[in-house]
Structure 1
């Protein structure tokens, strides 16, 4: 049977496979899958978007790239471990641990990736001195892009679909008709829940992108809205799926996590808003922020110290004492104190008059020297 995917009510059938190309190199078989390609494409688009918006969130581009690359690695590990821990076949994974590494056989859970990515971001942001909440904000927008694109990998794999439906967009396919699960009728179309989630994430990205441009008020705001938005949509969509990871016999793991995300996101949002309205948000502030603040305070103190010392006042020309003023003042003070005899004052006045005449050339020889306390009338 050839691989195909069909939408019977729409009269649409696609001859399509989950593999793009297969080849052999050095005796080893390689294949390029649509699933892997679309995940890589979603990641690339998310990084490109983040790089274009990085300055809007006051993040250093180089530091952001370092954080993103490490978080992407741990997100992949987290998505796999989450699936293994809650899989119905987890006993087989534990009995043969090497099988956990066979990711090409399927088995990644987005919630595990999200949890590990954000947990790793806290550590990396402190290491690279990036504000954690700002990184969470831009990372949330990137996640929505990656999820919207990556979910189409489920389309090509014919997985992550829902129960039977009579809606016009109900789908079927070669793998679906093989009886992937006993929870649906293989002869009837099923909900394309991968498409629902892709559209939900695309709409969430559009709304939060516009919000970040027009109404972004405090760090962590976009992140809180993201976990509320995605959690609410995932809670509803997960109820339609037939391949849910279960917690016991009745609880779907993703619905439990989604419900907790919505409640936690609402509480976190109002906490951040209250902090913003009273004091600047300092949650998850990095050591770099503290260091920069300390340096700013030190620099400010030095500036104040420098400003506190008044510069030496440069006297104006009108304020500069001339020899006449200096001599008169000195003679006046001496006379007032009774320390210089009157004859000495007269000699000083005569000498000053001669110097003035030499400089001006036109002034009379007996020009009066202004010496208020030294008997200037004798010069006249």
Structure 2
């Protein structure tokens, strides 16, 4: 018989360290390592990724919180003291991605780096971090789907520990964390297997492929979740944003191929590595 997983991994004195935080820390390290490894092949210095990380991660969390608060303003306008209480939960990944993108664009401008190439290099790492991060939701028993049955979960041939963790207050729920994690893993494998093929991706297209894949996955997974943010009480924010994102990125993909004709991804930054700046 399996018991539900304790969300607290260990204690440091009076401080409780949760599995969610441990998983997110590992996810960030993995994403950074993947970015640095690929960046060396594309003539980008390791220090650029470390410096970007120091800005993008904290500001990404701020963006994720602001996004969540905006769409839950009915609650937070009545409880303003809870706006900064991120330790009580309430972040949205799309808000983090938007904030992270803004940080990257400013960073690339300051460092004179090609932004599309930087996005290409880091996006597989971001995808890997998302895949791991969903397991933090699993341990916290959050971001799940609607009620289901034990028979349905067993029909998916899931490990017993997942089935038991999906039993919350006596009710079994859809493991939407798992759906998103697995389908993003498939997307990551596809992107990693294609990005080094000669004359396949133009600069910017690894990133755009990630966005299109994730928007499709999130659109369908969001329709199963019970904790969605809504507009006008009927439209799921993440589904609407996923739809807009997919259409917009697809248009940009085609436009750049036809009109802009950017460099190939494998051409790298065009700078000799290692390089220095004035």
TM-score normalized by the length of structure 2? 0.85
| Aligned position for 1:176 | 168
Q: Cα distance 1:152–1:19, how it changes in 2: closer, same or farther (>3 A)?
A: same
Separation in 2, partners of 1:212, 1:250: 39
Q: What SS does the corresponding residue of 1:241 show, helix, strand or coil?
A: coil
| Aligned position for 1:67 | 52
Separation in 2, partners of 1:154, 1:280: 39
Q: Cα distance 1:94–1:150, how it changes in 2: closer, same or farther (>3 A)?
A: same
- Post-superposition Cα deviations, 1:180-207, rounded to whole Å, max 9, x if no partner, equal xxxxxx63x2210001111122111111
- Trace 1:16-165 onto structure 2 (pairs within 5 A): 16-24=5-13, 29-87=14-72, 90-165=73-148
Q: What SS does the corresponding residue of 2:10 show, helix, strand or coil?
A: strand
Ranked by relative contact order (alpha carbons within 8 Å, sequence separation 6 or more), the top structure is 2
Q: What SS does the corresponding residue of 1:121 show, helix, strand or coil?
A: helix
Q: Which runs of 5+ in 2 are unaligned?
A: 272-278
Are 1:255 and 2:227 counterparts?
Answer: no
- Post-superposition Cα deviations, 1:64-119, rounded to whole Å, max 9, x if no partner, equal 321232111211111111111112xx334234434222111111111111111011
Separation in 2, partners of 1:75, 1:199: 24
Separation in 2, partners of 1:214, 1:45: 23
Q: What SS does the corresponding residue of 2:83 show, helix, strand or coil?
A: helix
| Aligned position for 2:274 | none
- Post-superposition Cα deviations, 1:207-233, rounded to whole Å, max 9, x if no partner, equal 111111115432101111111000000
Q: What SS does the corresponding residue of 1:141 show, helix, strand or coil?
A: helix
Separation in 1, partners of 2:238, 2:141: 20
Q: Cα distance 1:175–1:75, how it changes in 2: closer, same or farther (>3 A)?
A: farther
Aligned length: 257
Are 1:243 and 2:234 counterparts?
Answer: no
Higher CA-based Rg:
1
- Post-superposition Cα deviations, 1:310-340, rounded to whole Å, max 9, x if no partner, equal xxxxxxxxxxxxxxxxxxxxxxxxxxxxxxx
Q: 8 Å contact 1:59–1:131 — kept in the other structure? A: no
Q: Cα distance 1:55–1:22, how it changes in 2: closer, same or farther (>3 A)?
A: closer
TM-score normalized by the length of structure 1? 0.63
Q: Cα distance 1:139–1:275, how it changes in 2: closer, same or farther (>3 A)?
A: farther
Separation in 1, partners of 2:131, 2:165: 22
Compute the RMSD of aligned alpha carbons: 2.4
| Aligned position for 1:232 | 216
| Aligned position for 1:210 | 193
